[in-house]
Amino acid sequence: MAKLKFVIHPLFIIFGIYFALLGKVYSFLIFTLSAVIHELGHSLAAESRGYHLKRLVLMPYGAVIYGDTTDMPYKDEAIIALTGPMVSLFIALLLVSLWWLIPEAYPYTEICVLANLTIATVNLLPAYPLDGGRILYAMLSCYVKRKTALKICKGMGVAVAVILVLLFIYSIIIKTVNVSLLFFGLFVLFGNIFVSKENRYERILSYFRLGDLSRGKKVNKIAVNDRVTVKQLQGLLRYGELLEVYVYNDEGRKILTLYPEDVIKILSDSNLYSSVTAVWKKLR
């Protein structure tokens, strides 16, 4: 996995202070850990599809990961966005099933289940920059222009943020103040205003290059069949390492050897779903 830079947003610090004043530091830490695991689920899904995530910014009710790409298929974008909530739901269900086997674990894991269920359900809301908004963004991009899809999703995000702030004001009026609504609303609002990049992912190719070899780089050797695609080849890469590929046909005969510089040329091809052998023939 590529190096991932962690950044703490000021709003996250304020949220932490708020929980500390309420004497809920443990709950805050559990929510924070659950949010990080949620985002790492996105990261692993991206890595498996030939992309990596560059920067993780911790914010209330989640974390936002930044990066950039120009050619991610909308299907991949939707799958990566969906992976985070699925990881959170899996953790919650795993802990709930543990209650049946070890009932004594309930008092210690209840907050973990609540945290992961909350993060999963909240992120599935169709509001940008939440995961549900990202999924909607990818789906709309199949039918309308990318910029138009982004405007629609950001508009929905701002609308959700306004509704949450109004609910916070209403909670004050009825004297059951819910500050969490305010923080969540600000999180969604800030995400729409300050997230300037359309995507959060970067082609692995951006860090997979020969570069400075004065200190040496590890070369991994991998065997694949002649039907492997450029996208699948990207999924075999490891950060900071080079790749030498042996391509075999169905009869088990080696038909092609790709050295690191050859792999780099192939990965420069924009069509991720072309076969490696087809791309290599075209490049030659």
Contact 228, 253 (CB under 8 A): no
What is the model's pLDDT at position 105?
A: 75
pLDDT grade for 99, boundaries at 50, 70 and 90 = confident
Q: What is the mean pLDDT of residues 265-279?
A: 76
| pLDDT digits 0-9 by tens, 42-82 | 878 877 776 666 667 676 555 555 554 456 778 888 888 89
Name the percent of the chain lying above pLDDT 90.
11
Same domain, 273 and 147: no
Give the structural domain span for 198.
Answer: 5-203
- Mean pLDDT (the chain, rounded): 79
Last residue of a domain, one of 203, 223, 254: 203
Same domain, 43 and 120: yes
Q: What is the mean pLDDT of residues 236-251?
A: 81
**Cα–Cα distance, 163 to 161 (Å, whole number):** 5
| CATH code for the domain in which residue 232 is found | 3.10.580.10
Sheet with 254-258, side-by-side order of all strands: 219-225, 242-248, 254-258
Same domain, 244 and 161: no
Last residue of a domain, one of 203, 223, 248: 203
pLDDT over threshold 50, residue 12? yes
Give this prediction's pTM. Answer: 0.66
| pLDDT digits 0-9 by tens, 142-164 | 899 888 988 898 888 889 889 98
What is the model's pLDDT at position 65?
A: 54
What is the model's pLDDT at position 46?
A: 76
Q: What is the mean pLDDT of residues 124-146?
A: 87
Q: What is the C-alpha end-to-end distance of the chain, expressed in Å?
A: 31
22 alpha carbon, distance to own chain's centre: 31
Query: Is the link from the previous residue into 129 a cis peptide, with omega within 30 of 0?
Result: yes
Written as six digits, the tokens of 150 are 């982004």
What is the model's pLDDT at position 248?
A: 92
What is the model's pLDDT at position 54?
A: 66
Contact 6, 58 (CB under 8 A): yes
Same domain, 174 and 217: no
Same domain, 165 and 60: yes
Same domain, 239 and 176: no
What is the model's pLDDT at position 107?
A: 79
Same domain, 77 and 56: yes
pLDDT grade for 246, boundaries at 50, 70 and 90 = very high
Same domain, 225 and 242: yes
| pLDDT digits 0-9 by tens, 197-240 | 444 444 444 445 555 566 677 788 889 998 888 877 877 776 66
pLDDT over threshold 70, residue 117? yes
Same domain, 221 and 193: no
Give 229's DSSP letter: B
**Cα–Cα distance, 111 to 33 (Å, whole number):** 12
Q: What is the mean pLDDT of residues 80-96?
A: 91
Give 254's DSSP letter: E
**Domain count for the chain:** 2
Among the ranges given (97-106, 154-163, 164-173), the one the predictor scored with the smallest mean pLDDT: 97-106
What is the model's pLDDT at position 16?
A: 78
Last residue of a domain, one of 203, 238, 257: 203
Same domain, 123 and 159: yes
